[in-house]
Amino acid sequence: MSATPDQANPVRAFVAQLWGSVFRHGLPTNDKVAARTALTNFFLHIHPVRVKKSAVRVSYTLCLGGLSFFLFILLTITGLFLMFYYIPSVDSAYQNVKDLQFVAVFGDIIRNMHRWAAHAMVITVWLHMARVFYQGAYKPPREFNWIIGTFLLLITLLLSFSGYLLPWDQLAIWAITVGTNMAKYAPIVGPYTRYLLLGGDQVAQGALIRFYVLHVIALPLIGFLLMVVHFWRVRKDGFTGGL
Amino acid sequence: MATVVEGGRDPSGAVTPRPQAPVSGPELANTPLVIRRREDEETVVTFPYLVWREFLAGLAAFVFLMLVSIQINAPLLQRANTSITPNPAKAPWYFVGLQELLERFPPIMAGVAFPSFVIIFMILTPYLDRNPSRRPQDRKVAIVLFTIYLCLAVAFVVIGEFFRGEAFNWDWTLILGHPGLSSPV
């Protein structure tokens, strides 16, 4: 009798089939398998199969673009947890944040991480822009991707700014008051812009719900869409590589 | 560096001329059809080489943020109260530079003209910079201009955040402390 192990053991055969249906290739023991894995995996397909070694040196990219994306994901996940507790009403918002900080299990760590990751993302996106400029990586054919990147920087700032109001403490309301007062100085449209943003003349309930909706739905969606195009163009144009 | 060749490439490496298809715009006609890397350029497979590095960078960032989040609490002051104005009232740190500009220039300049100018200039950067070279030694002007811009932006944020006290007036004591006291107040 010379039955193969798979025939002899139906459980093992099932596991093998299950594994094989999810991952089409074995471990990347050689370049050929590695290349096929990258080609057939949706998530890995964000990268080309091969890249110039000089283009992915840590000393060249400083990981800044990747870290910005990682922080965006981290902020999405921690933000989701915060949304379970947070109600965007001037009556309850502050107490919800207090509960997060002092009552909810790991609530303080999740909130702290959301806050510090947001500050970190402003810095990494800013540094990523500086890195791309100093390496002239915006030059043809990547002009338009630089423009998308500019808008991603603005979206990052607006995301951080809109989140700033949500704890509804003294820091939040006065930072947003000062910030939105700057909008008043634009000729003609200034006061209207401020009114539109705040849903009134003062930072009150109207402003809180507007900033909340912008923060958790509108801006992340726009940012995500811009990111998809940004990454797709990086993929199509190739990495710039060593100078 | 990539060598641009016209036409496709068959497995033997020979270049087969591609029949010229009618194209509408000049951009399309000039689009390189195949970009061939020079032999001396070393390449690696992104999986696992690059993906592994990205994983490590992400892990390091996560561990760092976790440690910071365990140690340092996010600020949470008293409940919002429109009748008590803190002094000074400051914008979030990345907009404090703008607030500092407003302190020094008329609002129409600092609040509207400068930011619009910066954003428009940033968007137009790739079209204004006609220099095709990416080597730093060939782009001294661009690098100097951008460095000046970065330094000014950082300087205004640092001044607004650390050197502006009550009523947004200049205040050394924020970082130096009061004379006669052992630690900054």
CATH of the domain at A191: 1.20.810.10
Classify residue A66: in a domain, yes or no. Answer: yes
Chain A residues touching residue B134 (CB < 8 angstroms): 135-137, 139, 240, 243
Question: What is the band of A175 on the pLDDT scale with cuts at 50, 70, 90?
Answer: very high
Determine which helix (DSSP H) or strand (DSSP E) holds A50, and give its type and residue range.
Answer: strand A50-52
Q: Which amino acid is at B166?
A: E
Classify residue A22: in a domain, yes or no. Answer: no
Which residues 155-174 on chain B approach chain A with CB closer than 8 angstroms?
none
* pLDDT value, residue A4: 58
| Sign of the C-alpha dihedral computed for residues B85, B91, B96 and B99 taken in this order | negative
% of chain B with per-residue pLDDT over 90: 50
Question: What is the band of A68 on the pLDDT scale with cuts at 50, 70, 90?
Answer: very high
Q: Where are the alpha helices (DSSP H) in A41-63?
A: 58-61
* pLDDT value, residue A71: 98
* pLDDT value, residue A49: 86
The highest-confidence range among A39-43, A191-195, B65-69, B164-168, by mean pLDDT, is B65-69
Q: Mark residue B21 as left, alpha or beta (left: phi above 0; alpha: psi -120 to 50; beta: remaining).
A: beta
Chain A residues touching residue B74 (CB < 8 angstroms): 101, 111-112, 114-116
Chain A residues touching residue B102 (CB < 8 angstroms): 182, 185
* Residues A90-101: tens digit of each pLDDT: 999 999 999 999
* pLDDT value, residue A8: 76
Classify residue A164: in a domain, yes or no. Answer: yes
Based on the fold, state whether residues B26 and B97 are members of the same structural domain.
no
% of chain A with per-residue pLDDT over 70: 96
Classify residue B45: in a domain, yes or no. Answer: no
- Which ipTM did the prediction report? 0.89
Question: What is the band of A56 on the pLDDT scale with cuts at 50, 70, 90?
Answer: confident
Which residues 70-129 on chain B approach chain A with CB closer than 8 angstroms?
70, 72-82, 84-86, 89-95, 98-99, 102, 107-108, 110-112, 119, 122-123, 125-127, 129
* pLDDT value, residue A5: 55
Bond preceding residue B75 cis, omega within 30 of 0: no
Nearest C-alpha in A relative to B113: A186
Statement: residue B7 has pLDDT above 50: no
Classify residue A138: in a domain, yes or no. Answer: yes
The domain tally of chain B equals 2
Chain A residues touching residue B92 (CB < 8 angstroms): 160-161, 164, 175, 179
Classify residue A44: in a domain, yes or no. Answer: no
Q: Which domain holds residue B167?
A: 93-176
Classify residue A99: in a domain, yes or no. Answer: yes
The domain tally of chain A equals 1
Classify residue B12: in a domain, yes or no. Answer: yes
Name the percent of chain B in helix, strand, coil, to the closest 5. Answer: 55, 10, 35
% of chain B with per-residue pLDDT over 70: 75
Classify residue A189: in a domain, yes or no. Answer: yes
Classify residue B79: in a domain, yes or no. Answer: no
Statement: residue A215 has pLDDT above 90: yes
* pLDDT value, residue A24: 80
- Is pLDDT larger for residue A33 or for residue B15? A33
Based on the fold, state whether residues B172 and B97 are members of the same structural domain.
yes
* Residues A72-88: tens digit of each pLDDT: 999 999 999 999 999 99
Q: Which domain holds residue A221?
A: 56-236
A176 token code pair: 């947003």
Q: Is A76 helix (H, G, I), strand (E, B) or coil?
A: helix
Q: Does A40 touch chain B (CB under 8 A)?
A: no
Statement: residue B16 has pLDDT above 90: no
Question: What is the band of B2 on the pLDDT scale with cuts at 50, 70, 90?
Answer: very low
Classify residue B43: in a domain, yes or no. Answer: no
* Residues A108-137: tens digit of each pLDDT: 999 999 999 999 999 999 999 999 999 999
